[in-house]
């Protein structure tokens, strides 16, 4: 078995003390340039590798951060992670990615694992089943910086970076109204999550502001999948008066809606105008491109990383700082809703 080279091997080879070797490797000002160069040259020849854990213990930093997301097989979360990495990599940080799979127990385990690994910070988008936050409060008490993005919980001292989901829901609904829709259905995500509740609230407010009566029959809770969009259309077209506009909180459900309506020979957007949410890549490349709301995930990731770096630059010493960043949603109008 190959032996790991230590500073004591370098010390013996160069006939100088281990303390001098250590100081030379760490660029200590009291060590001459000649000695530093000799130590570095010998270290390279012997393939010496500095112990990153020992360095972390000494500096109090590991240069690792954790990211906990519900899942990474979505364009949104993978784009946020890319934004975080692009911003932090030039600063020497490594990103550890964990998936909760919408399970609070798994989220708790990942949080503890990252804390035990002594990461310098944790970025979180909470799971659908995170109905209590004791584990996050406990993590916060360790003074490890925590930052919420997209899905958050209101916890004092924890920074957040989100889009204005209320405004997004309002703009999506307003657009359908401006296209002449009077009976607008909303395919909502799980209303236990604040982001979906806010999108729903924006939808309701837009109806109210334009004098359209809210109809509970037009509200259907769906998961983010094509099949759920198909099933939603079947339910809505069982009504005496189906909708003439659909605002879906998921692009995937919106895709299912389009597929089922075309199967029923219902014209989009003339009979039914459709707008989705997330600006998934497929929405613009379809034969009938789907209107959607862009959550600007890459920007969200970069700004989340910038908030973290500001936090680190303020020489964090147990004093909680809290920044709340709300990004504007962007509306992309395409053929699925454009009547005028």
| φ, ψ for residue 212, nearest 5 deg | -105, 130
DSSP string, 26-59: TT-TTS-HHHHHHHHHHHHHTT----HHHHHHHH
Q: How confident is the model at residue 28 (pLDDT cuts 50, 70, 90)?
A: confident
77-95 confidence digits (pLDDT tens):
999 999 999 999 998 899 9
Range 109-122 average pLDDT: 93
Strand order in the sheet with 64-69: 94-99, 64-69, 121-124, 146-149, 159-163, 324-327
Range 178-185 average pLDDT: 97
Q: Would you state the torsion angle of the CA atoms of residues 323, 135, 193, 161, taken in this order, to the nearest 10 degrees? A: 20
Note whether 87 and 306 are within 8 A (CB).
yes
Q: How confident is the model at residue 315 (pLDDT cuts 50, 70, 90)?
A: low
282-299 confidence digits (pLDDT tens):
999 999 999 999 999 999
CATH code of the domain occupying 62-162+297-327: 3.40.50.2300
Between the alpha carbon of residue 265 and those of residues 236, 261, 272, 289, the distances in Å are 15, 6, 11, 17
CATH class of 165-295: alpha beta
Specify the pLDDT at position 47. Answer: 84
Distance in angstroms (rounded) separating the CA atoms of residues 120 and 61: 6
Residue 57 has pLDDT above 70, yes or no: no
Residue 316 has pLDDT above 70, yes or no: no
Note whether 40 and 23 are within 8 A (CB).
no
Specify the pLDDT at position 182. Answer: 97
Residue extents of the structural domains in the chain = 7-50, 62-162+297-327, 165-295
**Residue reference for tokens 């099933």:** 231
* Residue 8, Cβ density class (10 Å: 0-12 exposed, 13-18 middle, ≥19 buried): exposed
| pTM for this predicted structure | 0.80
Specify the pLDDT at position 25. Answer: 79
**Residue reference for tokens 């760490």:** 26
62-162+297-327 matches 165-295 in fold: yes
Residue 126 has pLDDT above 60, yes or no: yes
Specify the pLDDT at position 46. Answer: 84
CATH class of 7-50: mainly alpha
Residue 251 has pLDDT above 90, yes or no: yes
195-206 confidence digits (pLDDT tens):
999 999 999 999
Specify the pLDDT at position 260. Answer: 96
């Amino acid at each position: 078995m190959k032996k790991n080279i230590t500073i004591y091997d370098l010390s013996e080879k160069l006939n100088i003390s281990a303390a001098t070797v250590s100081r030379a490797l760490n660029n200590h000002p009291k060590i001459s340039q000649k000695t530093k160069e000799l130590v570095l040259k010998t270290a390279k020849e012997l393939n010496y590798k500095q112990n990153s854990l020992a360095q972390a213990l000494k500096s109090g930093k590991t240069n690792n951060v954790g990211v906990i997301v519900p899942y990474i097989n979505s364009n949104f979360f993978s784009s946020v992670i890319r934004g975080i990495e692009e911003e932090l990599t030039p600063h020497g940080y490594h990103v550890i990615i964990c998936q909760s799979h919408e399970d609070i127990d798994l989220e708790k385990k990942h949080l503890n694992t990252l804390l035990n690994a002594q990461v310098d910070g944790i970025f979180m988008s909470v799971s659908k089943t995170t109905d209590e936050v004791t584990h996050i409060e406990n993590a916060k008490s360790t003074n490890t910086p925590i930052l919420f993005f997209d899905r958050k919980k209101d916890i004092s001292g924890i920074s957040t970076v989100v889009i204005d989901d209320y405004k997004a829901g309002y703009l999506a609904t307003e657009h359908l109204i401006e296209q002449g829709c009077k009976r607008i259905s909303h395919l909502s995500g799980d209303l236990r999550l604040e982001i979906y509740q806010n999108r729903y609230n924006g939808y309701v407010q837009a109806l109210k502001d334009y004098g359209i009566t809210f109809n509970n029959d037009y509200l259907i809770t769906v998961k983010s999948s094509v099949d759920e969009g198909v099933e939603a259309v079947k339910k809505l077209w069982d009504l005496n008066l189906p909708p003439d506009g659909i605002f879906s909180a998921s692009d995937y459900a919106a895709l299912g809606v389009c597929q089922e309506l075309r199967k029923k020979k219902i014209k989009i957007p003339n009979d039914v105008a459709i707008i989705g949410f997330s600006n998934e890549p497929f929405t613009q490349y379809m034969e009938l491109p789907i209107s959607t709301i862009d959550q600007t995930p890459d920007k969200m990731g970069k700004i989340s990383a910038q908030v973290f770096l500001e936090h680190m630059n303020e020489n964090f010493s147990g004093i909680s700082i809290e920044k709340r960043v709300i990004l504007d949603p962007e509306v992309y109008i395409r053929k699925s809703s454009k009547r005028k």
